[in-house]
Chain A
Amino acid sequence: MPDERNDDVSLAERAFAALEPVEPSAALERRIAAIPILHPLAPSESFWPLGKSWATRWALVGALGLGAVLGSVPLPEDTAGAVEVGGAEVESTEGSAADLPAGQGELSDEDTELDRALAAALGADLGFEQALFEESL
């Protein structure tokens, strides 16, 4: 029985060795070479720059939610420094000008020249605006 089986195996080996080889055609090779071009793969990962793990993602979502809740709480209004002008409350610009570093609150010669040039070009009355500004102080 084993001899018969070996004979069968041997015959099958010879039979398959006698088969003519099959070569893929050039057209098939071209079709297959075009697969990566015709069927580009979708990105495997979605774009998410802030953390890859779910724990990090949930921490970020939690932080954003907390920020939204705290941001909605109204803060006490600071009315000091505000003045009434014609019934409307106007913020004083005195303090903010004083907070600026020396030299930044004042108009330089170049700025003045620029204002004049703009006034000449646009026909604006800067004198009126200057008077209104001084009145508000």
Chain B
Amino acid sequence: MPSHPGPERALDAALFQRIARGDALAFRELTTLHLAMIVTYATRILGNAADAEDVAQETFLRVWQKAADYEPRSRARTWLLAIAHNLALDRLRRRKTRREEPVGDDGEDLGPGSEEPNRLLLRKSTALEVRRALDALPERQKMALLLCHEQGLSGAEIAEVLNATPEATESLLARGRRALRTLLAEGNIDQS
């Protein structure tokens, strides 16, 4: 997991100060650095490019309007991911309310008896298998894994984004990895 270099945060703080003063070039710079990351995270969470792009746009709109609220105690990417995470969660909740889908239980691990491994066996694309396995995970486990293994956040940063304690975050990560292993047990990933 990455460390938290001081100079990076100092640069982030300077960038946000410029944005707070209405510097469009600084905003452009921030966008160039972090847009792909936000779109990737939102796409993984929402599974829909259009929704993910809406979330990314709203995230950067908030950044533009609330840059003065940025606190250098966290990295810019953590702050941005926290905003995107909350916006994506809102969207997921609205989606679930509309469809009346049951909300997944975070504490529930998927056992080997699940139908997912058999379905995964039929998939030829490794990426698709991984995506499906991630989608089968409980929401917060999936988010913790995405933030850790795809976005490179530390345990403390993941806890900040998920608004959880470091211990709960570690537990989420451990259970998520175990469930992912189970889901991919017979897939291409395990054999590569």
Q: A22-B36, A24-B36 are in contact. Are A15 and B57 (CB under 8 A)?
A: no
**Counting CB contacts under 8 A, is A18 at the interface?**
yes
Cα–Cα, bound, A36→B189 (Å)? 44
B82 to chain A, nearest CB (A): 18
B80 to chain A, nearest CB (A): 12
Chain B residue total in the interface (Cβ 8 A): 43
- Prevailing SS type, chain B contact patch: helix
**Counting CB contacts under 8 A, is B130 at the interface?**
yes
Inter-chain contact B61/A7, CB cutoff 8 Å: no
**Counting CB contacts under 8 A, is B153 at the interface?**
no
Q: Which of A11, A18, A25, A39 has a CB less than 8 Å from the CB of B64?
A: A39
Inter-chain contact A15/B130, CB cutoff 8 Å: yes
* Interface size class of chain A, counting residues whose CB lies under 8 Å from the partner chain: 20 to 34
Inter-chain contact B181/A8, CB cutoff 8 Å: yes
**Counting CB contacts under 8 A, is A16 at the interface?**
yes
- Prevailing SS type, chain A contact patch: helix
Q: What mask results when residues 6 to 42 of chain A are scored 1 for a CB within 8 Å of chain B, else 0?
A: 0111011111101111111101110111011101110
Inter-chain contact A22/B180, CB cutoff 8 Å: no
What residues of B have a CB within 8 angstroms of the CB of A29 in the complex? 31, 35
Spell out B's residues near A (CB within 8 Å).
Answer: 20-22, 24, 27-28, 31, 35-36, 39-40, 43-44, 49, 52-53, 56-57, 60-61, 64-65, 68, 126-127, 130-131, 133, 145-146, 148-150, 174, 176-178, 180-181, 184, 189-190, 192
